[in-house]
Amino acid sequence: MSSRMAGSVLLRRAGAGAGRLFATTASPAARTALGGGGGAWVRMMSTSAASQVKDEAAKGVKAEAAKGDGEKKEVAISSYWGIDQSKKLVREDGTEWKWSCFRPWETYTADTSIDLTKHHVPNTMLDKIAYYTVKSLRFPTDIFFQRRYGCRAMMLETVAAVPGMVGGMLLHLRSLRRFEQSGGWIRALLEEAENERMHLMTFMEVAQPRWYERALVIAVQGVFFNAYFFGYLISPKFAHRVVGYLEEEAVHSYTEFLKDLDDGKIDNVPAPAIAIDYWRLPANATLKDVVTVVRADEAHHRDVNHFASDVYYQGMQLKATPAPIGYH
């Protein structure tokens, strides 16, 4: 007997037995279906079993969804990859750290005693091109923002955060290509970019940009990123000099910002919470305190980029001179 015939016999017997079993409760139509074909019965049993499994699964999902928030968090942190998000960071006083965009060990106290009047006098033709290029960019910025320094600061930081990222990325790729260390400059430049981004996150709490200002940021960032990228490839000393002069202008802009705060033209509102934690400011710090520490940061960036340009002017690579890690 072939396997196909044996299977048919077994199905007919199973169908007949099922018909006798349910004959007392099933309707005539159902009994006819049960007695008439084992295949139909098997399909009915398969469909019924599948439906039962689906119902049980749905009940399980509803039961899980009905559990408390604590159990939900426990489910969220259990991961095949072993990522544990249950550990909470705390401050020095033991209270919980609420920021995920930066960690407690990344905070610092700004050195506000830095000399704000330093200026690199352009002597070479390349320096003069860098200097007057930056000066030419200031004119349309003054016209557009006038004395709205909150919005001006946001625009300034969206541009200022680009050079460090571009420079760090290109030095990183150079280190990989040439199998050489960078002297710590990759980290220093990326640290600068992160610091500028935190300036932006802070001023977002002070002034909200309008839709056309957001559009302007997208356009300016697209143009400036590509221009600085190719400029750094062609001449790193020119690129760092440009950033040095940009930071000089930033110091000037924040000084004007502070003057308007002192004159009462801008309300000296309480400092955003993110600024208090990032710069370790006192709990009663104000916007003036924030602008003061941001200006100090910009002065540090000015010095570092002018120094990097000077290294290139002396015919050396940045890797030959240790980077000022942690210069904040």
In a domain, 105, yes or no: no
Q: CA–CA separation, 23 vs 2, rounded Å?
A: 32
Domain span holding position 139: 129-320
In order along its 328 residues, the chain shows pLDDT tens digits of 445 554 454 445 545 554 444 444 444 444 444 444 444 444 444 445 445 544 554 555 444 544 544 444 444 555 677 777 777 888 877 788 888 888 888 899 999 999 999 999 999 999 999 999 999 988 887 777 777 777 788 888 888 999 999 999 999 999 999 999 999 999 999 999 999 999 999 988 887 778 887 888 888 888 999 999 999 999 999 999 999 999 999 999 999 999 999 999 989 999 999 999 999 999 999 999 999 999 999 999 999 999 999 999 999 999 999 888 665 5
Q: Give the Cα separation of 223 and 218 in Å (integer).
A: 9
CA atoms of 70 and 241, how far apart (whole Å): 54
Asked, for residue 289, whether it belongs to a domain, the answer is yes
Task: Give the integer Cα–Cα distance in Å for 273 and 254.
Answer: 20
* 81 within domain boundaries: no
- Classify residue 97: in a domain, yes or no: no
> What are residue 96's phi and psi, to 5 degrees?
-70, 140
φ, ψ (nearest 5 deg) of residue 235: -150, 95
Query: Is 108 inside a domain boundary?
Result: no
103: three-class secondary structure by DSSP: coil
Identify the pLDDT of residue 123: 92
What pLDDT shows up at residue 5?
52
Q: Confirm whether pTM is higher than 0.75.
A: no
Q: Does residue 152 lie within any of the structural domains?
A: yes
| Closest residue by Cα to residue 303 from 134, 108, 118, 131 | 118
In a domain, 31, yes or no: no
Domain-embedded: residue 25: no
Query: How many domains does the structure of the chain reveal?
Result: 1
d(CA 19, CA 63): 37
Question: Residue 194: which CATH number?
Answer: 1.20.1260.140
